[in-house]
Structure 1
Amino acid sequence: MDVKHHQRFQLADRSFANIVKRDITRMAESHGFSQTEVGRVNIVVSEMASNLLKHSPKGGEILVKYTSAKALEIICLDEGPGMKDPQRMLEDGTSTTGTAGEGLGAIMRQSHTFDFYTQLGSGTVILSRIYKGLQEAPKNKSKFEVATVTVPKPNEHSCGDGFALHEANNNCYFIALDGLGHGAAASLASQEAEAAFLSNYSVDPAQNLRQIHSSIRKTRGAVGTIVHINHSQKKMSYCGIGNIAGRMYTIDGPAISNAASKNIIAYNGILGHNIPNTLNTQTYDWDNYKLLILHSDGIKSRWDLSKYPNLHRHDSSIIAALVYRDFRRETDDSLVVVARSKS
């Protein structure tokens, strides 16, 4: 289970670069990364910071999280000009600013997992994961790919948005949460809801929400949506209370822009305070062509992925990070969940 939020490091100008590198290096050290592994993290962050300062007039940000798989996940976000020839930019010696041109290639070499998405006029998202104590990324036997980007409201250390996941054989169970308000009290509400969910993860979503409602009455309260995905039966079932929203795409063509989609709708109410007398679990067909995106109200409700060609071909963390970058509000915590099956 991985419920830790990303730490957000903004690079408005060059004066912040050394502070960002220092703080992320300390994160790696605090999680027991070796000196060699910390060096790899340092190179990745240095190159990301350098790229942000050279190519993004507005600056940019780096998101960092230590995952349950014992990896440091580093995501670089900018709203710069994007890359005209992205594959060429992976080659050493290629630069658009007259430098040595080792940035993207260096990040790729130091990363166990690497991916990026770029679009002319819209900027770039770069993903790097460095695993502790491993020579290469572990082989993931899971039938599911579920990623989250969770970021506290600016100037908050606690995050009221939460997420919990359990996988068992051909089943994936998870909950997306938003504790009321923000800060420590909201975080506590989400944490208690996560614990209640995990104690009954395989229970029907509507029934589980009722149990969570009873369990968190002494907290500030939360909204949440529970999702069950059964890979063998090719079914997805869900039930939600409050304003966790989202969309399920069926992608059978080359682009999300042509994909059919269904909105994920929840009941009105607040877990721990008031919920409807009648709750029903909804069921949809599910297969390897489905892509599910859920989010808290820290993300604008009118988001649209039709202008991002081939985005679905990228790591789920890239998709979640792009939704966060382009549609987040700065007035609340932010959570984006992206889930799909793997063949």
Structure 2
Amino acid sequence: MDFNFSAHQHFPLSDRSFLNIVRRDIGKVAETAGFTEVEIGRVNLVVTEMATNLLKHAGAKGGELLVKPMQEEDGQTSGLEIICLDNGPGMSDPQRMMEDGVSTYGSMGQGLGAIKRQSDFFDIYSKRELGTVLLSRIYRKGKAPKSAARAAHRFQMGVVMVPKPGEKVSGDGYCLRLSQEGAYVLILDGLGHGENAHEASNQGIKVFLQQPKESPSTMLREIHAQIKKTRGAVGAIAHWNAESGQLFFCGVGNISGRLFQPGVTKNLLSYNGTLGMAVPNTIHDHQHNWSGQTMLVLHSDGLKTRWDFTKYPELTRHDPTMVAAVLYKDNTRTLDDTLVIVVRATA
């Protein structure tokens, strides 16, 4: 079972005059995804409340909305994911702000409470001096997520992928494969950005999907051999199996990876080189323990490398997409495509 995912569309919002344009464009995304008129109304309310709060609180520091269609296991669009990144002062008591009327001055609805009610899934992370991130997922009727496959492998995965500002496509890419042998995730960063980088990562994903499920190093070597006509990419594959309790990792180039376990943080090392251009004659998998309370973070060089979870109390308890979104908000370079993948063991 394979999953190939799309990037988030990026909607910066620094001025109230852009609100109607943003709401219209996100409404078009929902319409294209097959939402009904009533469902689009839910999306519009969530976007309006998010944007109103963002414009009110972020001020000169600014903020943005990230939006992407979500896919079912059969590839059909199931719903919409909306993330609000607010660089304002943050909240000392976000749960109190969920109450209607507390934070809604100047808004059309009932603030954070309205966003939660209109969402099929809602998460919030806010701390003083750290800003606020809101995560909303709205599903089409009868399209609730089918999580049985991932539950069987005992993991959750969240992703934020955003093209470089001004680009329509991302040169970064990722893909998830599930099987009886475990789960595999591929992360790629095509050299540069734009269409040529997108082509390189897309071609690598196609090769990954067509291969037998073997060791990460073997699969990376095949990707290297098959994308030589592109501009090349850096990339990594992680393979974990909850039954054996092992993680196998192999990377080539400057993909960053960190593995978190109680009391232990490990940097995952990659080989020097570029897939499609030059890789070492010998590359091997690196083996680590994978069990409950393990979290894996992989990201492209669009994200700064000196982030630190200790800055974000209790963040790792939130949805993995929330974790990725907070890291993106505070650490994206904005000079390149950015991809952050967070995988958490659930047992």
**TM-score clears 0.5:** yes
- Superposition map of 1:256-271 within 5 A: 259-271=263-275
In the TM superposition, what is the alpha-carbon distance from 1:61 to its structure 2 partner?
A: 0.2
Structure 1 regions of 5+ residues with no counterpart?
A: 252-258
Contact (CA 8 Å) 1:158, 1:187: kept in 2 or not? yes
- In structure 1, the partner of 2:247 is 236
* Pick aligned residue for 1:65 from 59, 63, 68: 68
Q: What is the DSSP-based 3-state SS (H/G/I as helix, E as strand, rest coil) of the residue aligned with 2:43?
A: helix
Contact 2:245 2:290 in 1 (8 A): yes
Q: Deviations over 1:158-186 (max 9, x none)?
A: 11000010122461111011000000000
- 2:32 aligned partner, one-letter code: S
SS of corresponding position for 2:223: helix
1:117 equivalenced with 2:120 (yes/no): no
Q: Return structure 1 stretches of 4+ with deviation > 4 angstroms.
A: 96-101
Match of 1:84 in 2: 92
Query: Paired residue for 2:82?
Result: 74
Q: Does 2:317 match 1:308?
A: no
The separation in 1 between residues aligned to 2:192 and 2:317, in whole angstroms, is 35
CA contact (8 A) 1:161 1:178 kept: yes
Match of 2:300 in 1: 296
Amino acid aligned to 2:11: F
Q: Does 2:189 match 1:173? A: no
Task: Measure how far apart 1:200 and its partner are.
Answer: 2.1
Aligned partner (choices 45, 48, 66) of residue 46 of structure 1 = 48
CA distance in 2, matches of 1:78, 1:274: 41
**Paired residue for 1:26, among 1, 25, 28?**
28
| 1:254 paired residue number | none
Q: Offset of 1:194 from its aligned partner?
A: 0.6
The match for 1:55 among 40, 44, 57 is: 57
Going from structure 1 to structure 2, the CA distance change for 1:295 and 1:171 (only over 3 Å counts) comes to: same
Q: Distance in 2 between matches of 1:96 and 1:307?
A: 28
- 2:155 counterpart (144, 149, 171): 144
Residue 241 of structure 1: how far off its partner (Å):
0.3
Q: Is the 8 A contact 2:303 2:332 kept in 1?
A: yes
Query: C-alpha displacement at 1:96, in angstroms?
Result: 7.4
**Alpha-carbon separation, structure 2, partners of 1:89 and 1:5:** 30
RMSD of Structure 2 on Structure 1 (CA): 1.5
8 Å CA contact retained: 1:144, 1:172: no
CA contact (8 A) 1:170 1:231 kept: no
**Aligned counterpart, 1:194:** 205
Contact persistence 1:93–1:100 (CA under 8 A): no
- Which of 8, 13, 16 is 1:14 aligned to? 16
- In structure 2, the CA distance between the partners of 1:99 and 1:301, relative to structure 1 (3 Å rule), is closer
Contact 1:93/1:101 (CA < 8 Å) preserved in 2? no
Letter in 2 for 1:31: A
Residues 292-325 of structure 1, C-alpha deviations (whole Å, 9 max, x = no match):
0011000112111111000011000000011111
Structure 2: 5+ residue runs without aligned partners? Answer: 73-77
Q: Which residue of 1 aligns with 2:342?
A: 338
C-alpha distance in 1 between matches for 2:96 and 2:142: 29
- 98 and 223 in structure 1: CA distance in 2 versus 1, 3 angstrom threshold: closer
Q: Is the 8 A contact 1:170 1:232 kept in 2?
A: no
Cα distance in 1 between the residues matched to 2:238 and 2:132: 30
Q: 2:213 is aligned with what amino acid? A: S
Alignment size in residue pairs = 335
Tell me, yes or no, if structure 1 residue 226 matches structure 2 residue 237.
yes
**1:85 Cα deviation after fit:** 1.3
1:206 and 1:318 mapped to 2: Cα distance? 30
- Give the distance between the partners of 2:4 and 2:258, measured in 1 at CA: 23
Report sequence identity in percent: 51
CA distance in 2, matches of 1:180, 1:334: 13
| Pair 1:201–1:97, CA change in 2 (3 A) | farther
The letter of the residue matching 1:322 is: V
Counterpart-to-counterpart distance in 1, 2:84 and 2:317: 18
Report deviation, 1:95: 2.5
Partners of 2:52 and 2:107 within 8 A in 1: no
Q: 1:106 aligns with which of 107, 114, 117?
A: 114
Moved more, 170-179 or 217-226: 170-179
